[in-house]
Amino acid sequence: MTRRIPFFIFALIFILGSCGPDLKGENLKLREEIIGYHDEVMPLMGKLKTLEKEAVQEIEKLEGKETPDSARIMELKSLAVDLNATYEGMFDWMHGYDVSDGDMTQEELKVYLEDQLVKVKQVNNQFKEVLEKAENLLGD
């Protein structure tokens, strides 16, 4: 009986040690959340370019007037720059995002995915902010 006690203690420690956090499941959820933010704004990419063109056309119209509205032109130029930066920001994030796990451990992958989640949330927020700005300035 005394020989069985160390075996049971070892087995108990082994079982409890293997019940650590399910990093693979957490990483899968992180990936799904990242893709969710991406999928929310990806369909709006074309809208960004359309709004940028509208802003540029309005700038050209205003600059063609005898007395151009300089303040409005500056607002629209700022909007056009913001729209383009948001568009480019999405592509920069997408090109930097690695969909494979590579040689990373689950812990390293979790850190990587958490960083990517922060970045894609920033892109998502930038989309929402610039679209609201465009709506206010262009009336779309």
The tens digit of pLDDT for each residue in 74-98 reads 999 999 999 999 999 999 999 999 8
What is the separation, in whole angstroms, between the first and last Cα of the chain? 81
Q: How far is CA 30 from CA 40, 87, 104, 123, 135, in A?
A: 15, 24, 15, 16, 32
pLDDT given at position 102: 81
What is the pLDDT confidence band of residue 140, given thresholds at 50, 70 and 90?
A: low
pLDDT in tens, 50-69: 999 999 999 999 999 888 88
Q: What is the residue extent of each domain of the chain?
A: 23-138
Question: Residue 16's pLDDT band (boundaries 50, 70, 90)?
Answer: very low
